[in-house]
C-alpha cells in the first residue's frame, strides 16, 4: 500500500502548483486538491493520547491506534458517527453512549480508515478547518484531539 501513496503524491505535486496559482493568489493560502491521503498516528498510553499528523477535508484518512499502555483503551469520536469506518488490525468495535468506539488491547495496533465529507464555506469556496476531539470510553479522563485542515502544509514525515 505504501507505493501507491508515493505514486499519488508524485502525481499530485504538479497539479498542486496549478491549483495554488489559481486559488492561492486569492486567499494567500496554499489550497490543495481533495484526492489525497491523511495519516494521523495516535499512540495510546495509560496516561493519555499522543497525536501526530493531521488530515485534509475529503481525504482518505487513516487513524493508526497504537496501544503502548498496559490495559485496553478505547478510541471514540463524533467524527466516526456519520461515516463508514473500515477497521484493520486488532480493534474491537463497540457502541458506547451511542457513539462508535474502537477498543485496542495493550500492545496492539489498529487502523481506522474513512473519508470525511468536505465541508465547503460557500462564501469563500474553500473548506473549513475542523477540530475533532476523541476520548476513551473506558477511562473518561483520557481525551485528545486532531485536526482536519484545509491547507496542505507540512505533513510531518513518518
Ligand atoms: Cu483508556
Q: What is the CATH number of the domain that holds 50?
A: 2.60.40.420
How many angstroms does the Cα of residue 43 sit away from the middle of ligand 1? 12
How many angstroms does the Cα of residue 131 sit away from the middle of ligand 1? 21
How many angstroms does the Cα of residue 34 sit away from the middle of ligand 1? 33
Asked whether residue 7 is assigned to any structural domain, the reply reads no
Give mean pLDDT, residues 42-50: 97
Helix, strand and coil in the chain, % to nearest 5: 20, 40, 40
d(CA 127, CA 30): 12
Asked whether residue 3 is assigned to any structural domain, the reply reads no
How many angstroms does the Cα of residue 107 sit away from the middle of ligand 1? 13
| Range(s) of the domain holding residue 43 | 35-148
Whole-prediction pTM value? 0.70
Asked whether residue 144 is assigned to any structural domain, the reply reads yes
How many angstroms does the Cα of residue 86 sit away from the middle of ligand 1? 21
Residue 116: pLDDT band (50, 70, 90) is confident
CA neighbor of 109 nearest in space, from 87, 77, 94, 80: 87
pLDDT tens-digit map of 95-108? 988 899 999 999 99
Give mean pLDDT, residues 12-17: 47
How many angstroms does the Cα of residue 110 sit away from the middle of ligand 1? 15
Overall domain count for the chain: 1
Asked whether residue 130 is assigned to any structural domain, the reply reads yes
Asked whether residue 139 is assigned to any structural domain, the reply reads yes
Amino acid at each position: 500500500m505504501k507505493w501507491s501513496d508515493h505514486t499519488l503524491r508524485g502525481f499530485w505535486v504538479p497539479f498542486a502548483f496549478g491549483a495554488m496559482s489559481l486559488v492561492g493568489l486569492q486567499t494567500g493560502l496554499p489550497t490543495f486538491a481533495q484526492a489525497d491521503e491523511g495519516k494521523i498516528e495516535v499512540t495510546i498510553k495509560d496516561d493519555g493520547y499522543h497525536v501526530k499528523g493531521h488530515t485534509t477535508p475529503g481525504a482518505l484518512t487513516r487513524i493508526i491506534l497504537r496501544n503502548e499502555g498496559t490495559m485496553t483503551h478505547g478510541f471514540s469520536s463524533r467524527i466516526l458517527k456519520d461515516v463508514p469506518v473500515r477497521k484493520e488490525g486488532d480493534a474491537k468495535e463497540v457502541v458506547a453512549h451511542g457513539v462508535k468506539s474502537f477498543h485496542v488491547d495493550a500492545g496492539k495496533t489498529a487502523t481506522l480508515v474513512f473519508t470525511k465529507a468536505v465541508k465547503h464555506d460557500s462564501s469563500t469556496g474553500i473548506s473549513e478547518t475542523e477540530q475533532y476531539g476523541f476520548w476513551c470510553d473506558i477511562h473518561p479522563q483520557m481525551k485528545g484531539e486532531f485536526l482536519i485542515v484545509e491547507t496542505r502544509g507540512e505533513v510531518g514525515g513518518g
